[in-house]
Amino acid sequence: MARNTTAPDILRIATAQLNPTVGDVAGNLAKAREARADAARHGADLVLFTELFIAGYPPEDLVLKPAFVEACERAAAELAADTQDGGPGVIIGLPLRRESGLHNSIMVLDDGEIIAERYKLDLPNYGEFDEKRVFQPGPNVPGPVNFRGIRLGIPICEDIWGELGVCETLAESGAEILLVPNGSPYYRGKVDIRHQVAIAQVIETGLPMLYANQLGGQDELVFDGASFAIAADKSLAFQMSQFEEAVSVSTWRREGDGWRCTDGPMSKIPEKEEADYRACMLGLRDYVNKNGFKNVVLGLSGGIDSAICAALAVDALGEERVRCIMMPYRYTSKDSLKDAEDCARALGCRYDIVPIFEPVDGFSHALAQLFEGTKEGVTEENLQSRTRGTILMAVSNKFGSMVVTTGNKSEMSVGYATLYGDMNGGFNPIKDVYKMQVYALSAWRNTTVPPGALGPSGEVIPKNIIDKAPSAELRPDQTDQDSLPPYPVLDDILECLVEGEMSVDAIVARGHDRDTVHRIEHLLYIAEYKRRQAAPGVKITKKNFGRDRRYPITNRFRDRT
């Protein structure tokens, strides 16, 4: 039956905030079909998917493989054929190779056909993004797409963040609404930043904007969803949930010369501790599940870092999929033994004790002749850590469990970690969380069970773990503060150096001791080689190690002006 060619005054748009998997073309297509069917049941006219949905985002160099790009286009053609059923049209992202190059693209599908293609013009090349190395920008500024008589502007993600005037051009070309597919990763405070970017474009164009954002973990990145719309009057028209999959339908009505959203969800965005915790939980869950691990194992030392990682693992995966191992040596305190057991019991996960006296003493004996005449020190301490790492990797090999590594960002910054020891592992959920933030998250988790968590309520991290002085327990009466400044001081200096790229003079002006700042800067630089060999971990801050901060290993610069 032919459609009514008169432009409608009502448009129901389903925003598909879903969790695709990079490379799983068939699985992502199935998700799209399911979402479209759901949207149809709720009376939607159009389903807006997120950036590169068919491929998963970011696909990185996978898009350089022609077979992959061709598979994505075939999947989109199959989805286009589905739309001949008279149900909702579709806007969906995928890579496309055309005469003008390989593009980050969208297709608009309706009535069994591909009615339009549009290519991303502004390719991001900063922080976690490096699209310019794999994609070519669209050959021209994209014009609006006529969808059932309504002229839709469809800028793709960075097209609204950059300064190429894509939205302005769309408005000048007659666009009535801006629909934006995005792959915008989480970091603390990102939702407010997205709102500000969208409002700036609404002010510039006078058009309402619907911002659809991907959900889910992809290696170090977590996409938090939190899709929303901004009305032409700059008010928040609707707000979808953060860290949760959803297909939400909003109703848009033509009023005079413009469109107004008259209904849609209005979810509350979590506060900072909840948001960070849920990002870590989602990142760990998706890394484990999308890579096919059935369960995880970690060393539970009785310290706060391993305790919060155990809590995150149980919340993400369930107690039956988490195994904790305490590996005591002669310097392990009775408090640590009790605290580790209490933590595992509170979480309900499996807890084993594997003493390391014999293997450590065996290594010491084997090396005795080589080390004769030298003093005991860091080398002997590291034997303990490396023995523990070997045991965890043996359990991983034997049972197929992924090792969760537990070093926080403060330790990773200054090299307070042992290669091939406590750095062993497949993924680190707190890699981008500073020590004082670990304390804040632990206190928060003891009072709150986050949505979607599979762990228990109540105190899951014993109070003594939070209260006691942190220690690696590699020598008698050791504490972290023997060799590092107090963590509040250390974390502030590190945030200045890493996130702020501030000079030593500027950091000293904040009240820090100059010699201490020089020492921390030096430790930060010389630990780069360790970080290059560290497990991936969830990005929480604006500048994480790896994707965002890529310093040379060989580096003699020190700020001594």
Choose, from 73, 131, 157, 381, the residue flagged as catalytic. 157
Q: Is 452 flagged in the annotation as binding? A: no
The structure tokens listed for 531 are: 């970080």
- Centroid of chain to Cα 465: 27
Q: Does 309 participate in catalysis according to the annotation?
A: no
Two tokens, residue 236: 């928040």
Q: Is 304 known to sit in a ligand binding site?
A: yes
The structure tokens listed for 379 are 């080398």
The whole-angstrom separation of Cα 88 and Cα 95 is: 22
Could you tell me which residues come within 8 angstroms of residue 169 by beta carbon, excluding any fewer than 6 positions away?
A: 141, 143
Residue 210 assigned as binding residue: no
How many other C-beta atoms lie within 10 A of the C-beta of residue 441?
A: 24
Answer positive or negative: Cα dihedral of 20, 23, 27, 29. positive
> Binding site annotation covers 172?
no
Residue of 51, 73, 131, 176 with catalytic role: 51
Would the annotation count 301 as a binding residue? yes
Cα(452)–Cα(340) distance, rounded to whole angstroms?
25
User: Which H, E and C letters describe 222-282, residue by residue?
Assistant: EEEECCEEECCCCCEEEECCECCCEEEEEEEEEECCEEEEEECCECCCCCHHHHHHHHHHH
CA-wise closest residue to 211 among 236, 250, 179: 179
- CA 452-455-457 angle, to 5 degrees, is 100
Measuring CA to CA, which residue among 54, 47, 13, 59 is closest to residue 30?
A: 54
Residue 265 sits at φ, ψ, to 5 deg, of: -70, 155
For residues 57-68, one letter each, b for 16 or more C-beta atoms within 10 angstroms of the residue's C-beta and e for the rest, the string is bbbeebbeeeee
From the candidates 31, 73, 120, 167, which is the catalytic residue? 120
- Are 3 and 146 in contact, with CB atoms under 8 Å apart? no
Residues in Cβ contact with 65 at an 8 Å cutoff, skipping those fewer than 6 apart: none
| Residue 306, annotated as binding a ligand | yes
Q: Is 302 annotated as a binding residue?
A: yes
Is 431 flagged in the annotation as binding? Answer: no
- Neighbour tally for 275: CB within 10 Å: 23
How far apart CA 3 and CA 521 sit, in angstroms, is 66
Q: Peptide bond before 58: cis, by omega within 30 degrees of 0?
A: yes
Task: Tell whether 375 is in a known binding site.
Answer: no
| Annotated binding residue 299 | yes
Residue carrying the six token digits 């990002």: 279
Binding residue per annotation — 411? yes
**Is 442 assigned a ligand-binding role in the annotation?**
no
Report CA-CA distances (Å) from 451 to 231, 272, 429.
29, 15, 18
**Does residue 375 have an active-site annotation?**
no
169 marked as binding residue: no
Short-list 31, 10, 14, CA closest to 212: 14
Burial 378-414, CB ≥16 within 10 A → b, else e? eebbbbbbbbbbbbbeebbeeeebbbbbbbbbbbbbb
Distances in Å between the Cα of 371 and the Cα atoms of 10, 362, 365 are 81, 14, 10
Please give the helix or strand (H or E) that residue 315 lies within, else none. helix 304-317
- Is 157 an active-site residue? yes
Question: Would you name the residues annotated as active-site residues?
Answer: 51, 120, 157
Residues annotated within the binding site are 126, 184, 190, 299-306, 382, 406, 411, 530
Residues annotated within the binding site for deamido-NAD(+) are 382, 411, 530
Residues annotated within the binding site for ATP are 299-306, 406
